[in-house]
């Protein structure tokens, strides 16, 4: 008889010092947590088996988030998302908070369609900054190319047009909100947004925050559907 599987979905919040873990460090952290929580995990094959889990949208170091997602493949028999949450929560450090847990039948692959970032300025924008931000908003609305240099490995750079990845930009008081599309060819990086907006770390009241993600998913049991949170 074939074993049935579920995808355990845990949405969580990242802030403070926990936000300074890299993507790989965050992934390793969750691997240890789900093993200690004694979830009925499904492991990879080979000499070094690991739990089948993923963080579908890597987070830049230092970026806080209200909408991170963990997906873990587990055996379906007797599994309870509520019981899993109760086992996981005591293992989480300060700065990492579970928001919700759920399950989906089969192996689900989530992909981000869009992501929203919030930049909170330490001071109200002066006339020069206000004018530049209004110019950036007009650039977004016009649809003209917005070309920057993308920093690559070993100090290399290459030109990139970030306009195809920008859906909306708004400024209200000291809060900037950028809605970015995630396409097959990639997306815009947080450091690129900050250079375009002429905002440095010293200008912010807190670290950049990821506030919302729109997801799509595919499963072996369904042809595909949209899923938003």
- Is the distance from CB of 141 to CB of 217 less than 8 angstroms? no
- Please state the pTM of the whole predicted model: 0.90
Q: How many structural domains are present in the chain? A: 2
Q: Identify whether 228 is part of a domain.
A: no
Q: Please tell me the number of Cα atoms within 13 Å of 160 on its side-chain side.
A: 20
Domain's final residue, options 59, 82, 110: 110
At 45, the pLDDT band (50, 70, 90 cuts) reads: confident
pLDDT mean over 172-188: 96
Higher pLDDT: 74 or 152? It is 74
**Count of Cβ atoms closer than 10 Å to residue 28 Cβ:** 13
Q: Identify whether 82 is part of a domain.
A: yes
Do 200 and 130 lie in one domain? The reply is: yes
Closest by CA position to 68, among listed 104, 28, 110, 103: 110
Containing structural domain, residue 84: 5-110
Tokens of residue 212, six digits: 């919302």
- Is the distance from CB of 197 to CB of 133 less than 8 angstroms? yes
Per-residue confidence (pLDDT) for residue 143, from 0 to 100? 85
At 1, the pLDDT band (50, 70, 90 cuts) reads: very low
């Amino acid at each position: 008889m074939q074993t049935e599987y579920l995808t355990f979905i845990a949405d969580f919040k990242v802030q403070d010092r926990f936000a300074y873990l890299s993507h790989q460090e965050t992934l390793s952290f969750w691997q240890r947590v789900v093993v200690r929580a004694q979830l009925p995990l499904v492991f990879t094959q080979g000499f070094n088996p690991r739990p089948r889990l993923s963080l579908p949208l890597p987070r830049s170091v230092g970026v806080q988030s209200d909408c991170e997602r963990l997906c873990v493949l587990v055996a379906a028999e007797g599994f309870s998302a509520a019981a899993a949450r109760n086992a996981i929560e005591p293992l989480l450090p300060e700065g990492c908070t579970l928001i919700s847990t759920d399950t989906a039948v089969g192996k689900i692959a989530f992909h981000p369609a869009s992501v929203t970032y919030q930049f909170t300025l330490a001071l109200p924008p002066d006339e020069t900054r206000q004018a530049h931000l209004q110019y950036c908003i007009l650039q977004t609305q016009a649809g003209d190319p917005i070309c920057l240099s993308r920093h690559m490995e070993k100090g290399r750079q290459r030109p990139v047009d970030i306009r195809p990845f920008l859906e909306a930009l708004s400024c209200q008081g000291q809060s900037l909100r950028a809605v970015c599309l995630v396409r097959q060819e990639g997306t815009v990086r947080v450091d690129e947004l900050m250079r375009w907006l002429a905002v440095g770390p010293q200008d912010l009241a807190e670290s950049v925050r990821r506030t919302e993600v729109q997801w799509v998913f595919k499963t072996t049991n369904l042809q595909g559907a949209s899923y938003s949170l």
